[in-house]
Chains A and B, each alone.
Chain A
Amino acid sequence: MQRFHLTIFGAGLILTMAAARGDVVAVVSDRSAVVSLSKNQVVDIFLGRAARFPNGNQAVPIDQAEGAAARDEFYIRFAGKTAAQIKAHWSKIIFTGRGQPPRAVSNSGEIKKLLASNPNGIGYIEQSDVDGSVKVVRIE
């Protein structure tokens, strides 16, 4: 029992530390009806496996540019994949003519600007960059 409590405490501590470090969160336009998604649903949209949100609305993913720290952290945290694995994933899709990767922009500000004009958009930014123009997607 003692050990069990310790485990929970340990897990809680790790979660707290993770949240304290400028975490990457999935965001949608403040006009979007999307409130929460599962990790898999977010990943499916960004990897081109789903074209819609679960509520049926079209989903338009917006990536951060290759090499951006937020991008690497997003794919590791949400998909468990490294930058090289994401590159390999898109190579598979591109070279079968099945699609192109999401549009990529250079920073969080650009993401917020695009989301402001596109209620169907979904992006990811550092927690510290979140402001009133976007809504953080709750991960179930």
Chain B
Amino acid sequence: MDSTVIARERMKLTSITAIAALLCASAVRADDADAPMFTFNGFGTLGVAHSSEDRADFRSGLRPEGAGFTDDWSFAVDSLIAGQVNATFTPKLSAVVQVMAEPNYDGSYDPHVEWANIQYQFTPEFSVRIGRTVLPCFQLSETRKVGFTYPWVRPPLELYQVNPVASNDGADASYRLHFGEWTHTPQLRFGRSNTKLPNNAGTAKASNVWGISDTSEMGSLTAHVSYVRTELTLASFDPLFDGFRQFGPQGAAIADKNVVRDTVVTFLGVGASYDPGKWFTMAEWGRLRSDSVLGTRSAWYVSGGYRSGKFTPYLTYSKAFADELSDPGLDVSALPPFLAGPATGLNAGLNTILSQKPVEKTVSLGARWDFATNADFKLQFDHIRIGAGSTGVLTNTQPDFQLGGDLNVFSATIDFVF
């Protein structure tokens, strides 16, 4: 049996175990039929994707592989399954645990706790949650993995890859206000997170995460604003910058400019959607800023669709921008030959990281078919144009991969909730 087969078998087994455990938990119900103590829900996506670029992988989130290089037709881009138990202890005190199985950073499919928190509802308008919650940078952050809740195969990667980290370990407070016909839900949060990154990139440690956001709703109109500030450390970059520091003041300057160690990273996002039922339109913009090798990246998208019975055809245009994609690095010509070699290597390492800032635009055309009340089938075609000097959102780039260029992606998914 090859390792892929073993991995798949393991995914099945571990997912089944996790879901069975959740089902057992939900079987315990309070005697009072009016208020079930436990409720169980789940969701999932079974998806396949094909990319015309076979020297790199098209992937989403923090998955280590995808379509193109690793697999011609990949199940790893969008597939996942999750189960959730909500426990209501008293009308004010409740808890939620969501367990998800999806391709992890290391290629395993072991289920992980996506969120687990305890909520205390002080009043119908004011609540506080403690534990692992979502970090709502984007309009769809809270449901970015629940395919059934949005029209597309996946939220536009240009924007949603600007911050692929979805969770926050800490506390948040949410207050609902009514102003005339408007409902505002401002939220304040504090926390930290440790996120394991694929492709041997180590762990992204975010500490002192502060965030404020507001969701405003009026009838068919929804608007979202968010601001997040954190101190980020990417220790896996340290050896590279320690190397630069061996090269005198010029090397130290490059290291100081790029190192990610307790580096302040801010994110600002704005989005709005209008969905009167028969059709929908939405747009969103976000920008991540830091004085480091991560630089400044921003992205936006506009999307619209029309609902005709059970079919929803849609069109999306999205664009991602970034500052410098390359750096001259150390001046190699001034170095003696025995140092020029290592210096060239360090420059190449720095430029590889810089080229991974996505610069690209995508036109997506697709359709959603609601073939059952709790399941849909989607087809999507993406034409992606990657900017010169960038890998775009692709990963696992092979030595013969050329930066920039065009590719097409075809995806088909089934989303379900239960």
Contacts and interface: CB of A to CB of B under 8 A. Distances in A.
Interface of A: 38, 40, 43-44, 49-52, 58, 66-67, 76, 79-85, 87-88, 91-92, 94-98, 100, 103
Interface of B: 34, 39, 41, 43, 82, 84, 86, 94, 96, 98, 115, 117, 119, 124-125, 129, 134, 142-143, 146, 148-150, 176, 178, 181, 183, 217-220, 276-278, 307, 310, 370, 373-374, 376, 417
A95 B374 contact: no
Contact of A49 (B34, B134, B217, B276): B217
B277 A95 contact: no
Given A52-B124, A103-B34, 7 more contacts: A43-B219, A51-B176, A67-B373, A80-B220, A80-B276, A92-B142, A100-B86
A50 B178 contact: yes
A53 to B, nearest CB: 11
B143 A91 contact: yes
A96 B115 CA distance: 9
A85 B98 CA distance: 23
Nearest to B42: A95
B201 to A, nearest CB: 28
B119 A97 contact: yes
Nearest to B371: A84
Contact of B98 (A49, A88, A95): A95
A76 B148 CA distance: 20
Given A40-B219, A91-B146, A97-B96, A51 B125 contact: yes
A66 B373 CA distance: 9
Nearest to A96: B142
B310 A84 contact: yes
Nearest to A52: B124
A106 to B, nearest CB: 14
Nearest to B43: A95
Contact of B183 (A44, A76, A79): A44
Given A84-B310, A97-B86, A91 B149 contact: yes
B217 A87 contact: no
25 contacts: A40-B181, A40-B218, A43-B219, A50-B178, A51-B125, A58-B124, A80-B220, A80-B277, A84-B310, A84-B370, A85-B277, A88-B148, A91-B43, A91-B149, A91-B417, A92-B143, A95-B43, A95-B98, A95-B143, A95-B417, A97-B117, A97-B129, A100-B39, A100-B86, A103-B34
A56 B142 CA distance: 29
Contacts of A84: 310, 370, 373, 376
A97 B248 CA distance: 53
Contacts of A58: 124
Contacts of A76: 277
A34 B370 CA distance: 37
Nearest to B35: A103
Contact of A80 (B34, B183, B278): B278
Contacts of B146: 91-92, 95
A79 B220 CA distance: 8
A33 to B, nearest CB: 18
B51 to A, nearest CB: 28
B143 A96 contact: yes
Contacts of B310: 84
Nearest to B148: A91
B307 A82 contact: yes
Nearest to B127: A98
Nearest to A38: B181
A97 B149 contact: no
A100 to B, nearest CB: 6
Contacts of A40: 181, 218-219
